[in-house]
Structure 1
């Protein structure tokens, strides 16, 4: 009924001259907003609810967009067919994630432009490490589905996210991802670029000849800058990976581009690597023990590289609504929490996490930021308004308190004076707080010899009274 009224009014007022054009435009925009809210369409949506680029008519620009969309789809289908190889099977991927950071899984199913506009066309499923049951992924404030390409992004990774993930389009599913989440502060080493005079540098690939496998470092992208307007910090992580020599290309001295698939023939290495042609992380839960505990694998560390950055603070995201002539008719500053009705319901910001920790005096404790603002930006710690600078706090505490390269506070010998509220920040916004309460530890010193004598005395006393009661009883007989 709303549709019919909108169409009739638009046609009726279209014959009115300049004075009536403003009203026509308003009615058209209202119709667009209604269908945008109902169907979640993009900015190229006709006010009747369909994507204009899917029915371009004689519009040359829309024809070009239409052609590119479908060419991209058919190119994806061709690449997908080529990746199957002679065996006709897709290649699964084993990846490693670090706690509190994020990971992104691209949907490997080719999605046509028509299916991409449908919100529920693609579904993600996963199998936790502890079970063998495939179940739908539950989307939360840290587990998000991209509306653009249906990619799955998990922020603030935890051990519980370890498992197998797969994307489905209807009944069609492609090769899965096998994710293992580890504590990034363990078995990690800070390295410097090869152009730097500081050491150590990233470890080069290494061949284990007896098994025909290589060990190399798989690097992530640089993280966002930790602050704006001033010099901040960025980092990227690299994790140890094992790959078959038959699928490894070491022709380039570039740690970000050393992985290249070769022929589909079986190699002389372990059989598992003929399936996982892209390699398996050294700390993956699916890597066989026979490989995981090789000396070369055990001695290879994960790596982290830290750099400096500077960005402007003008990061306002402004959404604009334009009419058919390209004129701006509405603006909404999303950064200020203002959204247009055409955008639909905005995503929910992650909550500020709070945590209470009790510790005994003299213990070693590690403080990890309990929250995450859906960003891999480095964490900055504060006590009240005082910023904790790693170099200064390490020097003042004589190395008793350090902030690790993974932005965790490590207190090696906690004191009563360490009791405080520690806050962690990302991009100038509060992500979480930890209230640390340190108490005196009551120690009870037992003399084991005295305790044994006491226990023996109690047992002998009990045995003595038992014998007296047993031997002193009267025996009676009954005659008939």
Structure 2
């Protein structure tokens, strides 16, 4: 009995010694592995000592498990969105978009990357082709053309007409629907200001109109701008532009043109199911010539021969007239008036001109508009514009001397 007890004691001591030896060796191996992976992948690497993604194999770490679940959820949501983006031919739907000259635009890369492919995001490339080219080539990045490193969104600032074309992002053999960008030059003179449908008074935006080829003309709106005032009632606006959409074609017979048939139109708008802007360079000429889709243009005077060939053109909107035209009526002369005032006394300025029409008057100092509410607030009521459109200056100062128009 005594010998058996001694043997068990020796076995226990050997086992304890062996366990300590092996555990020490394993710990040293773990430390070496950690140092090796830290040296290779960096201090904040998401790879464990077995070379696996921590987010993919989070073990019992609840935070990593939640992050992993969220990343895979976003990936599946992206796939669902792409599936809904398929057109009637079950192919990816391209987008025809408009950019305004000197403004900016952002084009999102819609490639779906799962968490295991997230490190490939930096390999996403953007290519483009101008409207005259058929072959895509890599984009040359400049101070105005940049790609966001976080989501590979393409940003183009200070847009120019030469930025028009087809844009597409890809990763290896994976590509997504392209963008067809058309950069247009707009003038504030061509804007039609309308109010929100929720506003009490109009004017309101035009309602959708039906066109030939079983198309619909409607307004596409951008995003709201920030409010003009902080913590106060102000104004915000958004730009809208006309866009052509398709609708269900049921037994519609239209007169065909040489350029475009009804079948061609159906095929085009089945591909571009989100519509095509009226000023897009990919919109067929037959549709661009429909009166409702035409944008306002300047008044151009043309002289043609008996065969219809243009012999002379004169852009009347730019003040250029043909010698064969009647001279336009002369603009009325600008009325000028010099008015003297005494420092410390009150002065009232009246508009010396008259166009024999009951229209609002806008006062300016130099190129700066005088907004009645603003000028009264800034001057604490010393300068104000009355309801009769007169400028009242109380207790005039030398600094009030200026050119008022």
The answer on whether the counterparts of 1:96 and 1:281 sit within 8 Å (CA) in structure 2 is yes
TM-score for both structures, normalised by structure 2: 0.55
Residues 144, 229 of structure 1: alpha-carbon distance in 2 compared, 3 angstrom cutoff? farther
Residues 134, 202 of structure 1: alpha-carbon distance in 2 compared, 3 angstrom cutoff? same
Aligned counterparts of 1:216 and 1:202: Cα–Cα separation in 2: 10
Matched, 1:206 2:209: yes
The answer on whether the counterparts of 2:103 and 2:157 sit within 8 Å (CA) in structure 1 is yes
The answer on whether the counterparts of 2:243 and 2:275 sit within 8 Å (CA) in structure 1 is yes
Aligned counterparts of 1:103 and 1:53: Cα–Cα separation in 2: 34
Residue of structure 1 equivalent to 2:123: 121
Structure 2 alignment gaps of length 5 or more:
1-26, 250-261, 298-317, 320-360, 371-405
Structure 1 alignment gaps of length 5 or more:
1-6, 13-26, 248-265, 302-362, 365-392, 404-480
Residue of structure 2 equivalent to 1:179: 181
Aligned counterparts of 2:87 and 2:185: Cα–Cα separation in 1: 36
What is the SS of the residue equivalent to 2:177? coil
For residue 80 of structure 1, report the CA deviation from its aligned partner: 2.7
For residue 149 of structure 1, report the CA deviation from its aligned partner: 2.6
Residue of structure 1 equivalent to 2:197: 194
The answer on whether the counterparts of 1:32 and 1:47 sit within 8 Å (CA) in structure 2 is no
For residue 213 of structure 1, report the CA deviation from its aligned partner: 0.6
Q: Specify which of 139, 159, 162 is matched with residue 161 of structure 2.
A: 159
Residue of structure 2 equivalent to 1:109: 111
The answer on whether the counterparts of 2:93 and 2:273 sit within 8 Å (CA) in structure 1 is yes
The answer on whether the counterparts of 1:244 and 1:267 sit within 8 Å (CA) in structure 2 is no
What is the SS of the residue equivalent to 1:215? strand
Residues 68, 233 of structure 1: alpha-carbon distance in 2 compared, 3 angstrom cutoff? same
Matched, 1:89 2:91: yes
For residue 33 of structure 1, report the CA deviation from its aligned partner: 11
The answer on whether the counterparts of 1:166 and 1:176 sit within 8 Å (CA) in structure 2 is yes
Aligned counterparts of 2:204 and 2:161: Cα–Cα separation in 1: 29
For residue 217 of structure 1, report the CA deviation from its aligned partner: 0.9
The answer on whether the counterparts of 1:115 and 1:121 sit within 8 Å (CA) in structure 2 is no
Alignment of 1:201-350 (within 5 A): 201-208=204-211, 210-225=212-227, 234-246=236-248, 270-298=266-294
Aligned counterparts of 1:224 and 1:132: Cα–Cα separation in 2: 39
Q: Deviations over 1:19-73 (max 9, x none)?
A: xxxxxxxx9xx9899656xxxx8xxx57999864233221112112112212322
The answer on whether the counterparts of 2:102 and 2:158 sit within 8 Å (CA) in structure 1 is yes
Residues 230, 47 of structure 1: alpha-carbon distance in 2 compared, 3 angstrom cutoff? farther
Rg larger in structure? 2
Q: Deviations over 1:344-373 (max 9, x none)?
A: xxxxxxxxxxxxxxxxxxx99xxxxxxxxx
Residue of structure 2 equivalent to 1:19: none
Q: Specify which of 358, 363, 366 is matched with residue 395 of structure 1.
A: 363
Aligned counterparts of 2:191 and 2:52: Cα–Cα separation in 1: 51
Aligned counterparts of 1:33 and 1:231: Cα–Cα separation in 2: 53
For residue 173 of structure 1, report the CA deviation from its aligned partner: 1.1
What is the SS of the residue equivalent to 2:128? strand
Aligned counterparts of 2:115 and 2:276: Cα–Cα separation in 1: 33
Q: Deviations over 1:359-412 (max 9, x none)?
A: xxxx99xxxxxxxxxxxxxxxxxxxxxxxxxxxx952279x9889xxxxxxxxx
**What is the number of equivalent residue pairs in this alignment?**
265
The answer on whether the counterparts of 1:116 and 1:149 sit within 8 Å (CA) in structure 2 is no
Residue of structure 1 equivalent to 2:24: none
Q: Deviations over 1:247-272 (max 9, x none)?
A: 9xxxxxxxxxxxxxxxxxx9895432
Aligned counterparts of 1:130 and 1:177: Cα–Cα separation in 2: 15
Which structure exhibits the higher relative contact order, with contacts defined as CA atoms closer than 8 Å and separated by 6 or more residues? 1
The answer on whether the counterparts of 1:94 and 1:280 sit within 8 Å (CA) in structure 2 is yes
The answer on whether the counterparts of 1:162 and 1:181 sit within 8 Å (CA) in structure 2 is yes
Residues 141, 11 of structure 1: alpha-carbon distance in 2 compared, 3 angstrom cutoff? same
Residues 218, 121 of structure 1: alpha-carbon distance in 2 compared, 3 angstrom cutoff? same
Aligned counterparts of 2:293 and 2:369: Cα–Cα separation in 1: 28
Alignment of 1:125-144 (within 5 A): 125-144=127-146
Aligned counterparts of 1:80 and 1:164: Cα–Cα separation in 2: 20
What is the SS of the residue equivalent to 2:237? strand
Aligned counterparts of 1:101 and 1:182: Cα–Cα separation in 2: 10
What is the SS of the residue equivalent to 2:238? strand
Q: Deviations over 1:107-148 (max 9, x none)?
A: 232222233333432111111234333111233333232333
Q: What value does the CA root-mean-square deviation take over the aligned residues? A: 4.1
Larger mean CA deviation between 72-81 and 170-179 belongs to 72-81
Alignment of 1:10-21 (within 5 A): none
The answer on whether the counterparts of 1:212 and 1:268 sit within 8 Å (CA) in structure 2 is no
Aligned counterparts of 1:51 and 1:135: Cα–Cα separation in 2: 34
